[in-house]
Chains A and B, each alone.
Chain A
Amino acid sequence: MVKQERYDAIVVGSGITGGWAAKELTERGLRTLVLEAGRSIDPENDYVMTTQPWELPFRGRRDRIRQERERPIQRECYACDEWSEKFFVRDDQNPYTTEDGKPFLWIRSRQVGGRSIVWGRQVYRLSDLDFEANARDGFGVDWPIRYADIEPWYDHVERFIGVSGQAEGLAQLPDSRFLPPMNLNCAEQHVRDSLMSHFGGERVLTIGRCAILTANHGGRRACHYCGTCERGCTTHSYFSSLAATLPAAALTGRMTLRPHSVVHSVIYDPASGRASGVRVIDAETQETLEFHGRLVFLCASALESTRILLHSASERWPDGLANSSGQLGHNLMDHTMGGGAQGYISGMDDKWIYGRRPNGIYLPRFRNISDQHPDFLRGYAYQGGGSRLSWERGNDMPGFGADFKHALRSPGPWRFRFYGFGECLPRESNQVALDPDRVDAWGIPVLNIQCEWSDNERAALNDMSIQAAEMLEAAGASEVSTFIEDNPPGLTIHEMGTARMGRDPATSVLNGWNQSWDIPNLFVTDGACMTSSANQNPSLTYMALTARAVDYAVKQIADGEL
């Protein structure tokens, strides 16, 4: 006998979008079940913010042998270190497959709070340059929305999460509702000023826009600049669903949060043509459970939500639930990263910083705005920043002994680094499907992921390194050197697409409200919905689309449509 429970709404996933769905649904009066595949996280016990390097067995070098066994993929993420590896899945329990010569790194978390506990916290609005991109050059299908549709929802989300940053008035990167910006350091201010005089307003170096509080906000404390957010913040100074949206949902008294709940599939009711609920495997007992609801919101992360839909195939939906378009699983994107340059800034050796700012610089897109680059479509932006070299430079210095030791007490030269992130074109051949030959620790078929960069992405990476060097030279940097990293897709951890929004049910999975064209009470509001990738860090857009979709769904219920 399968146990059954009934709710107004079911949200699959408790990360950055699941938290928003939970908050918005419960605040509109809906009794909401939030299903999370992983365990609960208790900041008091699980966060390692106050753990010092000398308290760790390997002093932060990671337990190499154990990571090779348990997290050979996750360890490729900078944040999956000796402090924070527990916030990432074990690869041996969560396998997936790829094709020879097409590596894809899928970095994942399963826990209450999801990846919002370890995310990069950078938040940028998309603009109409992005929402019109597919229509302009013909790659992918047209977005069903424009900036004006999402703008009030960016406002709504930013007011709640708290975004620090500097208003710059750029059309291609609309300003957010900002808390005070963090400071640029001396080297960054120098580069900003140099670029202003060399490129006018065309290349604007600004402080990173991040979901980290620079003032107390909504019951959360301002940042104390310990610098390593991914270890968990016990003062909740950076936004996570665990710190902000889930507590807001809990406050309504209408949320039921169930950890250890691995969603197996969405249950389709042929009689009504709707989703009636979800089937769940209890991760601890392996027991199968069913939960029923009037609305189903998939917020499990781009590839997990798509995997659930693919695994919900039935006689009526042989190619996956809500897949009459045949587009489910296709048009997978990530951002490229790692074209750039670095150099040294002289003339400020008497200056230094105080505190560890968990944020860098941002240099918004300047390519393909008013003219067209001959080598590539779309654009890229830089992150990075300036810093003085630390004791680590001792590895490259000659010597040993007292003088060597004392030389390392002083900060080293100022180094400045531009590190590019580029847009990825939507292409049908970048895709995921269920692998019929392999299951995960809970018996659910794993994904086979086929994804590779195209010449367009490679050409933009190349331009990133050239332009970065040009800007450093304009700023008078010395020893300028360029780099182009060879990072496989996935590692930027901006994987998106595979259930795209569109204007036409024949070519898209979701409509302009993140609602399935096929199954009206089914919504997908995580990164799976993305029609194009833009080059901005995408989480802010996912959050805004989630809040917007909930508002729509609840109005549809009120209007008797759902």
Chain B
Amino acid sequence: MDRRHLFHLLGASAALAGLNPSQLAALFESGGPRKPSRAFFTTEQRETIDALCEVIIPTTDTPGAVTAGVPEFIELIVAEWYNADDRARFMRGLAQVDERTQALTGIQFAQSGEDTQAVILSGLEAESRARIASGEDTPSPFFQQFRGLVLSGYYSSEIGLREELLYQPIPGRFDGCVDVSEVTRSVSDGD
């Protein structure tokens, strides 16, 4: 969606809300995603992460996780937000993805075909669900951990909010009961 179109969509409600031109402009100025202050992952790890992101939220009629900058978000979180335990769990799980793919096909996850990638990820998911179902009080397994990062990274990105969902920074009014057909996609709460 181009910015002129967005401006047209939002201009009326934002103007109604009494925003001045500089406030209105601020709604459309993106500070852009922050990169981690140091390169945390290796090139090989980045390739695996990119591939995992795109399998989980692929490009369809809207851009997928990679275009939305989710891999960079994940690198920042793992490098600068996670505590040591979460980071170690993440790194172990990431290494396992390639180990399993290697054992199955002899090549890296990122170089594998879609079918192989889906098999690997389905296997991880099944184990993850079994562990959660067992009721063990353990930190969430790698599949849950990784997919959770992809979801929160994607749906907080400009692409995820503005192109995948219907995010209006300044709705201008509230209606508590409208037909879903009037709102074709989930309206994000912006958090």
| Chain A interface (Cβ < 8 Å from any Cβ of B) | 49-61, 63-65, 182-186, 188-189, 221-228, 234-235, 349-357, 388, 390-392, 394-395, 398-402, 404-406, 408-412
Contacts and interface: CB of A to CB of B under 8 A. Distances in A.
Contacts of B60: 402, 405-406
A401 B119 CA distance: 12
A353 B177 CA distance: 5
A350 B179 contact: yes
B177 A392 contact: no
B185 A400 contact: no
B130 interface: no
B176 A353 contact: yes
Given A59-B73, A351-B179, A235 B189 contact: no
Given A394-B151, A401-B58, A355 B174 contact: yes
A52 B189 CA distance: 11
A117 B89 CA distance: 40
Nearest to B31: A55
Interface string B50-93: 00000111101000100000000100110011000000000000
B17 A354 contact: no
A189 B157 CA distance: 33
Q: Which 4 pairs across A and B sit closest by C-beta, in order of nearness?
A: A224-B17, A185-B176, A355-B174, A355-B171
A191 to B, nearest CB: 12
Contacts of B180: 349-352, 410-411
Contacts of A349: 180
Given A226-B171, A356-B190, A50 B121 contact: no
B81 A64 contact: yes
Nearest to B188: A390
B182 A221 contact: no
B183 interface: yes
Given A354-B171, A408-B186, A411-B186, A54 B161 contact: yes
A50 B21 CA distance: 12
Contacts of A184: 176
Given A54-B156, A55-B30, A357-B176, 18 more contacts: A50-B169, A52-B27, A52-B161, A53-B156, A54-B31, A59-B73, A185-B176, A224-B14, A226-B169, A234-B23, A353-B174, A353-B175, A354-B171, A356-B189, A357-B174, A400-B125, A405-B60, A409-B164
Nearest to A221: B18
A184 B175 CA distance: 9
Interface of B: 13-14, 16-19, 23, 26-27, 30-34, 55-58, 60, 64, 73, 76-77, 80-81, 118, 121, 125, 129, 144, 147-148, 151-153, 155-158, 161, 164-165, 169-183, 185-191
Contact of B151 (A58, A224, A392, A411): A392
A68 to B, nearest CB: 10
Nearest to B151: A394
A100 B189 CA distance: 39
B55 A401 contact: yes
Given A224-B13, A390-B186, A410-B185, A59 B156 contact: yes
Nearest to A235: B18
Contacts of B16: 224
B183 A354 contact: yes
A229 to B, nearest CB: 13
Contact of A50 (B26, B81, B125): B26
A52 B178 contact: no
Q: Interface centre among A50, A64, A398, by most B CB within 10 Å?
A: A50
A554 B188 CA distance: 51
Contact of A354 (B14, B161, B165, B173): B173
11 contacts: A50-B169, A53-B156, A54-B157, A58-B76, A185-B177, A186-B176, A223-B174, A225-B170, A226-B170, A349-B180, A409-B165
Given A52-B27, A54-B30, A409-B165, A355 B172 contact: yes
B121 A400 contact: yes
Contacts of A189: 176-177
A350 to B, nearest CB: 5
A221 B23 CA distance: 15
B33 A54 contact: yes
